[in-house]
Structure 1
Amino acid sequence: MRLDLTAKSFGPRPILGPVSLTVGAGQRVALLGPSGVGKTTLLRIIAGLDRDFAGTRAVPDRLAMVFQEPTLLPWRTALTNLTLPTGATRAEAAALMAQVGLAGREAAYPRQLSLGQQRRLSLARAFAARPGILLMDEPFASLDEATRDRMLDLTAQLLDSSGAGLILVTHDPAEAARLSARPLTLSGSPATLG
């Protein structure tokens, strides 16, 4: 993945200045910085969800994103939440659900799962897409410490076994360290990487 961003504005307000970022398979980076500096905006540009920017973006064929809140289809079962958007087979999806500790919950609907279980399901869905680069936008926010630690360990295991690269948005340098992600700080106005 390579991004050469010249500028990003919201109306007349410049948000991001020149940003160059390259992440290959197996490489991990964490975007750190204060709230409102533009970390999520930068991640959305990389993901292709925001195309209104000046610059160029080249990404692998397969990207997957884990958002701050689980973005699950409430009218679909847990298993279908993996197979439908990713094209994974039922067997592949069930195996991933087992890896994240959700074996036996394939027929459950998101509302029948705790927040921690929904986040694990979102993580399984991301890996079901077989991404070259995994994008994560503060996926461990609002989790209790024990659940956060389990999710960090699980994410590290899945990254190790898949070989996917990682771009993590976080406020916590300890999360970056736990995932062996190189910290990059976004700061300034408009923000640039330092």
Structure 2
Amino acid sequence: MRLDLDAKSFGPRQVLGRLALSVARGERLAILGPSGIGKSTLLRILAGLDTDYRGRLEGADHLAVVFQEPVLLPWRDAVANITIPTGCGAATARDWLAQVGLAGHETKFPRQLSLGQQRRLALARAFAAGPDILLMDEPFASLDADTAARMLALTDALLTRSGAGLVLVTHDPAEALALKARALHLGGDPARLQKD
């Protein structure tokens, strides 16, 4: 995947300036920067969710996104929360649930799961989609330190096992380090990428 961005604006305000970013399967990148700098906007462009920008996005990579919130179907159980969005079979969904430590929770609904369990379900859903590149938008925010550390270790292991690439948006350099991701800093006005 390659993005050559000329500019991204919201109304008269230019949020992102000229930048180039590329990531391939197996490669890990972390976009670091303070809140409000445009990290999530950049990730939405990479995901194809925001097409209102000047520039070009290329690549036929299969993507999966893990958002800040788990974004689960509240009226469906854990298995269905994986099979419906990904199209995989129930056996595959159960396997991914086991891999993220949710064996025995297959028939539970999101409201019956803790926030940490909901985040693991969202992670299972993303990997069940078989992505070439996983896009993550501050997925460890609002987790306590122990739960976040376990989620980081789990994500690292699943990335290694699957061979998927990663673009992580975060304000925490320790998360980039834990996921062995090359760090790029987003800063300035309008924001541009710089190597850390």
Structure 1 residue aligned with 2:129: 129
Any idea what SS the aligned residue of 1:192 has? strand
For the residues of structure 1 that align with 2:59 and 2:84, how far apart are their CA atoms? 23
The amino acid of 1:27's aligned partner reads E
How far did 1:58 drift?
Answer: 1.5
Any idea what SS the aligned residue of 2:70 has? coil
The amino acid of 1:119's aligned partner reads R
Aligned counterparts, 1:15-94, within 5 A: 15-94=15-94
Query: Which runs of 5 or more structure 2 residues have no equivalent in the other structure?
Result: none
For the residues of structure 2 that align with 1:31 and 1:166, how far apart are their CA atoms? 10
Any idea what SS the aligned residue of 2:139 has? coil
TM-score using structure 2 length: 0.98
How far did 1:60 drift?
Answer: 3.1
Are 2:11 and 1:11 aligned? yes
How far did 1:88 drift?
Answer: 1.1
Structure 1 residue aligned with 2:192: 192
Structure 2 residue aligned with 1:157: 157
For the residues of structure 1 that align with 2:87 and 2:60, how far apart are their CA atoms? 17
How far did 1:71 drift?
Answer: 0.3
Structure 2 residue aligned with 1:144: 144
The percentage of counterpart residues that share the same residue type is 66
Deviation by residue 1:27-70 (Cα, 9 ceiling, x = unmatched)? 00000011111000000000011000000002334100000011
Aligned counterparts, 1:170-185, within 5 A: 170-185=170-185
Contact 1:32 1:183 in 2 (8 A): yes
Contact 1:60 1:133 in 2 (8 A): no
TM-score using structure 1 length: 0.99
Any idea what SS the aligned residue of 1:3 has? strand
Any idea what SS the aligned residue of 1:149 has? helix
For the residues of structure 2 that align with 1:78 and 1:48, how far apart are their CA atoms? 26
Contact 1:60 1:132 in 2 (8 A): no
Aligned length: 194
Structure 1 residue aligned with 2:99: 99
How far did 1:89 drift?
Answer: 1.0
Runs ≥4 in structure 1, deviation > 2 angstroms? none
